[in-house]
Amino acid sequence: MPITKAFEGKIDYVQILDKDGNIDQTLDPKLPDELLDKLYRFMVLARTWDKKCLALQRTGRMYTYAPLEGQEAIIVGAALALNKEDWIFPTYRESFLYHIRGAELWKINLGWMGMEDGLKLDKSMHCFPLAIPIATQFPHSVGAAYALKQKGIKAATLSFGGDGSTSEGDFHDALNFAGVLNTPSVFLVSNNGFAISVPRKWQTKSETIAQKALAYGIKGVQIDGNDVLCVYSTIKRALDMARDGKGQMLIEAVTYRMGPHTTADDPKKYRNEEEVAYWRERDPIKRFQLYLKGRGLWSMEYEQRILEESSKLVEDAVAKSEAYQPDPKEIFRYVFANMTPDLEEQMQQCFEKK
């Protein structure tokens, strides 16, 4: 099981909504109804899209895909906590975040279908590319945060990673530089229990990942990553703090990846049914639904409407991405920033008229 116990008095563990949707009144962020609705809608859309991507991959219509089921609260809570001016440094697991930042879903599909065009995002979205090499995004984010600081721009960076990424040197270099240079940085580690098949306990002997912040003189907190109210309010607080020059924060969001690591993985080989059932009961969408219901903001009709809308958005996006005709020359163009003479020659040979 992933650890949920806080490091003795030094690191707090925060949860606002329990698994049955009951709220801790002392921590209630009192978000407006409109924002609660948005959080819920995006989580439902994320799950609908995720299921579709998995099905597309299984039927040969999409290449490798990294499922997000179980981690919706982290992705949606983080996305809505950001200001437009802030910059994000996501991994393969957070591609849906691009949609909340303004990218059309069909373009994100294109990326997973192997077409570079899909991942050419408008610079105004302030999104860095999805990091596939583990942990490289952390030092990039600190460099960008340092640049923001030097330029006097009031914005922060939010970088994402998994529990496995904290075993890479890049993670530690980044936290160290962020503290020393006092950059406007927030680090979000989704502790989903595994780095592919490697369990969290094999990454580190530390009781929590959050406590690693202490070594670098920055703040650390462990939160319930399946509680969208907690994710949203913790990240918002951390970003406000970073933008105000009041320090950096490492947030460890404890969660669980319900599906495979990617479509190339079979989780049945390294985890058991009871563990999955334990986390199914802690589902981020279910508990938020119960909370909204208790507040009179959820009904069957509302659910039906949202499901239909999500399904239509996803199906329209699939139709558009499948109709897209990429330029086959892209196979050669995107290998390096500038094509080598060899590649130029190969491209010409391929496309010259016979």
Ligand X SMILES: Cc1ncc(C[n+]2csc(CCOP(=O)(O)OP(=O)(O)O)c2C)c(N)n1
Sequence-distant (6+) residues with CB within 8 A of 117 are 107, 110, 324, 326, 330
User: To the nearest whole angstrom, how small is the minimum distance from the Cβ of residue 113 to ligand X?
Assistant: 20
Please, are residues 2 and 256 in contact by the beta-carbon 8 Å criterion?
Answer: yes
Please tell me whether residue 134 binds ligand X under the rule CB under 6 A: yes
Q: Sign (positive/negative) of CA torsion 134, 104, 265, 255?
A: positive
Compute the least distance from the CB of residue 213 to ligand X, in Å: 17
Q: What does the CA dihedral 271, 90, 288, 212 come to, rounded to 10 degrees?
A: 70
Stretch that binds ligand X, among 127-135, 143-151, 211-219, 302-310 (CB under 6 A): 127-135
Applying CB under 6 A, does 132 fall inside the site for ligand X?
yes
CB closer to ligand X out of 159 and 165 = 165
Rule CB under 6 A: say whether 114 interacts with ligand X: no
Residue 137 or 310: the one with the smaller Cβ distance to ligand X is: 137
Q: Which of residues 196-235 bind ligand X (CB under 6 A)?
A: 196
Which residues between 75 and 94 bind ligand X (CB under 6 A)?
93
Nearer to ligand X by Cβ, of 43 and 306: the residue is 43
Only one of the segments 173-181, 191-199, 224-232, 283-291 lies at the binding site for ligand X (rule: CB under 6 A); that segment is: 191-199
Task: Give the angle subtended at the CA of 286 by the CAs of 281 and 288, to the nearest 5°.
Answer: 125
Tokens encoding 172 = 């530690």
Q: Which of 15, 157, 183, 192 binds ligand X (CB under 6 A)?
A: 192
Site mask for ligand X (CB under 6 A), range 151-170, x = bound: ----------xxxxx-----
Q: What is the set of active-site residues?
A: 257, 261, 270
C-alpha distance across the termini of the chain, in Å: 61
Alpha helices in 15-90 (DSSP H): 33-58, 72-81
* Nearest residue to ligand X, by Cβ distance, number only: 162
What is residue 298's DSSP assignment?
Answer: -
Calpha distance 114→240 (Å, rounded): 37
Least separation in angstroms between residue 275's CB and ligand X is 15
Q: Rounded CA gap, 219 and 104, in Å?
A: 35
Q: Which residues bind ligand X (CB under 6 A)?
A: 93, 132-134, 161-165, 190, 192, 194-196, 257, 261
